[in-house]
Amino acid sequence: MHNSSSCMHKSICMQIRNFDVPLMVIISGFLAFDSYKRSMKGSSSIFNYYWKRISRLLIPTWIFLISYFTLVFLFSLITKGNYPYSFSAVLRSFLLLDGIGYVWIIRVYLICSFLTPIFFYFNNKIKSGKRKFLILLIMYAFYEIAVFSGINESSVIFNFIIAYAILYGVIYALGMLSKKTSAADDMKISILSFMIFILSSIGILFICNGIQPTQIMKYPPRIYYISYALFISFLLLSIFKRASLKKVDFIEFCSKSSLWIYLWHILFLNMIPLLFGQIHWIAFYFMVLMCSIALCHVQNRVIDKLETKSINKNILKLFRG
């Protein structure tokens, strides 16, 4: 009975938090508006901007993957166990496809980064907010029709690149647009998304003969998952714009170190169950979170020490952020 109750609580919490990826993409778009504008000042080119994004996202991820697969290999040797990853899984991880999982979000960020100049031009060229929203809505409708027709099942390029470029490109563009929208505008998007989510929920209820988590339509993302995620994301964005926030060192550290915290959490997600077995999901969540933050903090302290020595700072930057 206790296990059943725990699983139910876990399922509810997992559903409530199932807006994380779209929210991260929206925030990325929100921040990219000023970031791209700064990058384009002076003699900087689009290619310089692209290289900065690649060195900021892809190279640290590859460094982490090399470290991760090495640590898992050493762990397998020490415990005399089988190495759990095939060559295909390792390769697909480095290609940001699936592999070990979790690193696919880096592919989303890279795709969005390459679309940034287009969306920035689109945002400045079209003045009407309603027209911008309508164009994004048409793009999304095209995506839904394509997925419904099964193109993603027959085309690897569409499934891993084009589909993500359209869907998360639309969400990323919404994040860029939200840089100039008011809290009231964001609340309108949240309410509209909530209404679509309710209609989708009713449809899912009849099709599946019961209430289903939005996770069932996350791969590939469909309107049931997306509408819930946009509802919560823009609700939070509206609240954020109204709030008077003060600087908190811990939050600032997590914000600046978000990439490496995310990467290290992959290690602890896989290693903690091997070391401690099955533990309560709440304890597991906080163990992964605190271990990832703590290791990233140690990493930053080491980088601080190395910066005082004659080591290339561009190399050291790869281990921050």
pLDDT tens, 100-119? 989 999 999 999 999 999 98
Q: How many CA atoms lie within 13 A of 234 on its CB side?
A: 28
Q: Is 18 exposed, middle or buried (0-12, 13-18, 19+ CB in 10 A)?
A: middle
Long-range residue pairs from 177-184, CB within 8 A, at least 24 positions apart, any chain: 177/123, 177/129, 177/132, 177/133, 178/26, 178/29, 178/30, 178/234, 178/237, 179/30, 179/33, 179/34, 180/123, 181/129, 182/241, 183/237, 183/238, 183/239, 183/241, 183/242, 184/238
Residue 80 pLDDT: 86
Residue 137 pLDDT: 92
Distance between the two ends of the chain, CA-based, in angstroms?
43
Q: Are 98 and 92 in contact (CB under 8 A)?
A: yes
Share of the chain above pLDDT 90, in %: 55
Amino acid identity, position 35: S
Q: Which of 7-11, 57-61, 215-219 has the highest mean pLDDT?
A: 57-61
Structure tokens at 60: 């640290």
Q: What pTM was computed for the model?
A: 0.90
Q: What is the mean pLDDT of residues 128-150?
A: 90
Give 203's contacts (C-beta < 8 A, 6+ positions apart).
Answer: 224
Tokens 């509209």 -> residue: 192
